Amino acid sequence: MRVALLAPAMAVADAFCRNSEHLFELSGANTGNFAFTHALFRHFSPGVERFFWHERPEVIRERCQIAVVACANQLGPHTDMSALAHTLEKTGLPIVALGLGAQAPDTSASVSLTAGTDRWLRVLADHAPAKGPNIGVRGAFTLQVLEKLGLEGQGAVIGCPSNFLSEDPDLGAKIAAKYAGSPIERVAVAAGTRHAPAMAPLEQELARLATSTGGVYVTQADLDMIRLARSEFDAIDPGDLEKLRAYIRPDLDIAAFKRWCRRYATCFTDSGSWLEAMRAFDFVVGPRFHGVMQAIQAGTPGGVVVHDSRTRELCETMRIPFRDYREIEPGFRADELYRLFPFDADAYRVRRRELLLRYLGVLSWAGVKPSKALLELEAETAQAERSPDAPEFAPR
């Protein structure tokens, strides 16, 4: 079955000679999407073709037999997915959606949708390939949102497919071994954005940590954060540049802040080099989920600083270490990160297998053949313990 993957780019090979707007657009407005798209390419057998969301429906229909949609935190009042609803409906193809999340201040809040996003969600459900779940969601919170909207049985909790980038069945144990015996000397920061002002003090602590340990400050979004990492200071409005300085390094003047960015800030233009780079660090910490997940998949310990339902749900689902930003006292040291972000290798291993089975189940219901690598990972983890909340269905 030929798969149409509607997703951002997995890499931007010409970024070195293009501006940050080009990189930002192809990444889907967040370079963390490289990890998600990379995972999806690795998880499907040969015969997958990637399309941007604005591709003409007839092109997708002529070339492929099923549409797989790479989703994000699209359930909320902040989105209008009507254009993609139209595209998907016009293709007439069966649909699988993966990685869908709801956005709210916390997981106890209610979620409302715009008319366009509600229509898009129902197009996904109406084009299910079979009588089984065709929407892979981030966690229990998003699943409850679907159920409240009358879409019981359409969703399955799979977390994020980036959790299966590594083919190592002993990944959790190897990370736990570093907790037990490796000092934290060099830290990478999965940097946030100035649009969360309450987190400014913590962001400044993280920038300090990257500096004091000779680490890096990895930016993903927004556009101006990527410009900082690529030394495109002249492309940033002077007022916005001042806000970024005040948010990240208020102790530096503008000239010193630019020098700091050249020395410590970076961003990645593909997932593979990002994964490789994270191997050089002892810990990766910050509010960007995929920045931390890249480290974990590379076997490096990491912890996510959460401030809303988006990343909290992903971390809770996949047993990724996390802590609310309000729980972290100022002045913490690098050697305290293991204590602040404890890692349970057994819980991670058991849950990773459960989620893998659910993920394979969604693909199986749809008739999408998983890649050899994904099936081998399932086979190699087959002896892992099962928890009482094991999947309700397994691959056919």
388 lies in a domain?
Answer: no
386 lies in a domain?
Answer: no
- Do residues 242 and 223 both lie within one domain? yes
- Do residues 285 and 357 both lie within one domain? no
pLDDT tens digits, 173-220: 999 999 998 999 999 999 998 888 999 999 999 999 999 999 999 999
Q: In whole angstroms, what is the distance from residue 80 CA to residue 70 CA?
A: 16
- Do residues 10 and 127 both lie within one domain? yes
Answer positive or negative: Cα dihedral of 164, 165, 169, 172: negative
241 lies in a domain?
Answer: yes
Q: In whole angstroms, what is the distance from residue 373 CA to residue 375 CA?
A: 6
Q: In whole angstroms, what is the distance from residue 332 CA to residue 67 CA?
A: 46
The residue out of 343, 361, 391 marking a domain boundary is: 343
The residue out of 343, 367, 391 marking a domain boundary is: 343
Question: Region 155-181: what's the mean pLDDT?
Answer: 97
Give the pLDDT score at 117.
98
Question: Region 124-132: what's the mean pLDDT?
Answer: 94
Picking from 373, 366, 372, 378, the residue whose alpha carbon sits closest to that of residue 69 is 366
pLDDT tens digits, 12-52: 999 999 999 999 999 999 999 999 999 999 999 788 999 99
Q: In whole angstroms, what is the distance from residue 294 CA to residue 300 CA?
A: 9
User: What residues make up the domain containing 181?
Assistant: 171-343
Give the pLDDT score at 386.
53
DSSP string for 286-324: ES-HHHHHHHHHTT--EEEEE-SHHHHHHHHHHT--EEE
- Do residues 160 and 252 both lie within one domain? no
pLDDT confidence of 388, banded at 50, 70, 90? Answer: low
Give the pLDDT score at 109.
83
Q: How many beta carbons lie within 10 A of that of residue 105, not counting itself? A: 9
Strands 66-70 and 3-6: parallel
- Do residues 101 and 234 both lie within one domain? no
Give the pLDDT score at 29.
95
CA distances from 293 to 205, 285, 379 (A): 21, 10, 23
- Do residues 151 and 182 both lie within one domain? no
- Do residues 199 and 305 both lie within one domain? yes
Q: Which residue is listed with tokens 């593979």? A: 272
- Do residues 156 and 20 both lie within one domain? yes
- Do residues 324 and 356 both lie within one domain? no
CA distances from 247 to 197, 217, 268 (A): 8, 14, 22
- Do residues 246 and 306 both lie within one domain? yes
Give the pLDDT score at 395.
43
pTM check: above 0.85: yes
Which CATH number characterizes residue 252's domain? 3.40.50
pLDDT confidence of 1, banded at 50, 70, 90? Answer: confident
Describe the crossing of helices 345-366 and 309-318 by its angle, rounded to 10 degrees: 100
- Do residues 85 and 197 both lie within one domain? no
Question: Region 52-76: what's the mean pLDDT?
Answer: 96
The residue out of 343, 371, 388 marking a domain boundary is: 343
- Do residues 11 and 145 both lie within one domain? yes
| Residues in CB range of 209: below 8 A, 6 or more apart | 187, 189, 215, 285, 334
Question: Region 267-273: what's the mean pLDDT?
Answer: 98
122 lies in a domain?
Answer: yes
Residue 336 has pLDDT above 70, yes or no: yes
31 lies in a domain?
Answer: yes
| Sheet containing 187-190: order of strands | 265-266, 216-218, 187-190, 283-286, 302-306, 322-324
Count of domains for the chain = 2
392 lies in a domain?
Answer: no
Residue 263 has pLDDT above 50, yes or no: yes
Q: What percentage of the chain has pLDDT greater than the value 90?
A: 89
